[in-house]
């Protein structure tokens, strides 16, 4: 019997369903390959379950708030058991779109122009600020959600309607809309895994495009880039991964426009579902699903 793996999935974020799917599929693959696996929710029983099951590694299959923002990582640190993906600080930095953008800009990584909006500006002042600093159309999004939850492309006529949908958030990122190609690239450990291009049938690669098979997003791999541009893409991806001191697997989301790569964000816990991109990139590189999972588990043993 191979070592015991505890998988934490579910949670209370808006990405709960995706997390449950990730947990189920990782568990199925591990069991098929001889591992003893237990799946649990991140609830008040978590520490007692960890204590009684005594896993060798904890696989963090959570997505979204409380799962990839440093919260659960802080709890797992207390167990002294290796856990997958990034640590406390790296997770918190990557999840906070404002903080991560500041780091990218400081280190000369191109990212769309932005500012944070906290509902204190008048409508007139907000419009003026956008037209002065960014120009319409803009993208509005929460600072700390994943999977493109509550992300909207806005123009002057609909921005206040869309902002009203985000009033549960204290602050909202207002970001320059970059047209062009959607390209995503992955790192595992300190190695460049590869990239994939997405051609969504929807306006952009939103939550539905990511997880609804009926949305029929086209996946293109290998990406049609020159060798020089592909190497540049992967160099930026690894640089961003290292700047945030990430561990395990990460996926960076880019827009490619007028021969430039604009880094939108880094995902420290990308999905492991049938529609997920990292397993697809790995498969193209002849890395099976179980091998990918084992690489992630192996990286969990490193200090975070």
Per annotation, catalytic residue among 9, 100, 150, 267: 267
Beta-strand pair 57-60/4-8: parallel
CATH code for the structural domain at 4-84: 3.40.50.20
Per-residue pLDDT, 150: 79
Q: Could you confirm whether 211 is annotated as catalytic?
A: yes
The answer to whether residue 184 scores a pLDDT higher than 90 is: yes
- CA atoms within a 13 Å half-sphere pointing along the CA-CB vector of 215: 19
Residue 265 appears among annotated catalytic residues: yes
| 267 catalytic per annotation | yes
> Could you say which of 90, 147, 150, 247 is catalytic?
147
Domain with CATH 3.40.50.20 in the chain: 4-84
Q: Which CATH superfamily is domain 94-109+180-299 in?
A: ATP-grasp fold, B domain (3.30.470.20)
pLDDT at 1: 60
pLDDT tens column, 126-163: 999 999 999 999 999 988 876 466 789 999 989 989 98
For the chain, give every residue range classified as CATH 3.30.470.20: 94-109+180-299
Q: In sequence order, what are the beta bridge partners of 22?
A: none
Among 11, 271, 276, 299, the one annotated catalytic: 271
The CATH 3.30.1490.20 domain(s) of the chain lie at 114-176
Please name the fold of domain 114-176: Dna Ligase; domain 1 (3.30.1490)
Mean pLDDT value across the chain: 91
Q: Is 271 a catalytic residue?
A: yes
Catalytic residue among 175, 206, 253, 299: 253
H-helix or E-strand spanning residue 204: none
Distance CA 3, CA 34 (A): 9
pTM (2 decimals)?
0.90
Phi, psi of 142 (to 5 degrees): -65, 155
pLDDT bin (cut points 50, 70, 90) of residue 43 is very high
Which entry of 15, 69, 96, 299 is annotated as an active-site residue? 15
> What residues contact 291, with CB distance under 8 A and at least 6 apart?
282
| DSSP bridge pairs for 171 | none
Q: Give the pLDDT confidence of 265-276 residue by residue, as tens digits.
A: 999 999 998 778
From the list 35, 117, 211, 230, the catalytic residue is 211
> Cβ neighbours of residue 158 under 8 Å, at least 6 residues apart?
none
């Amino acid at each position: 019997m191979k070592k015991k793996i505890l998988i934490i999935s579910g949670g209370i974020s808006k990405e709960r369903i995706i997390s449950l799917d990730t947990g189920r599929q990782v568990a199925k693959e591990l069991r098929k390959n001889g591992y003893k696996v237990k799946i649990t929710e991140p609830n008040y029983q978590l520490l007692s379950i960890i204590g009684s099951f005594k896993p060798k590694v904890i696989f963090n299959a959570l997505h979204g708030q409380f799962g990839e923002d440093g919260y659960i990582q802080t709890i797992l640190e207390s167990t002294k058991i290796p856990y997958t993906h990034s640590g406390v600080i790296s997770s918190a930095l990557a999840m906070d779109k404002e903080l991560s953008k500041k780091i990218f800009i400081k280190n000369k990584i191109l990212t769309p122009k932005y500012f944070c909006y906290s509902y204190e500006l008048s409508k007139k002042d907000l419009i003026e600020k956008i037209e002065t600093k960014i120009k319409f159309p803009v993208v509005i999004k929460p600072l700390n959600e994943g999977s493109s939850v509550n992300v909207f492309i806005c123009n002057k006529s609909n921005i206040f309607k869309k902002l009203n949908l985000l009033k549960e958030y204290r602050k909202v990122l207002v970001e320059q809309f970059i047209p062009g190609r959607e390209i995503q690239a992955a790192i595992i450990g300190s190695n460049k895994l590869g990239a994939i291009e997405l051609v969504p049938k929807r306006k952009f690669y939103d939550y539905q495009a990511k997880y609804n098979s009926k949305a029929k997003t086209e996946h293109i791999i290998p990406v049609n880039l020159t060798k020089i541009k592909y190497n540049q893409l992967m160099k930026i991806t690894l640089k961003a991964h290292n700047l945030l001191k990430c561990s395990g697997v990460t996926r960076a989301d880019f827009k490619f426009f007028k021969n430039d790569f604009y880094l939108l964000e880094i995902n420290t816990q990308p999905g492991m579902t049938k529609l997920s991109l990292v397993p697809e990139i790995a498969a193209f590189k002849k890395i099976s699903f179980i091998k990918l999972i084992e690489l992630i588990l192996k990286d969990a043993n490193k200090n975070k």
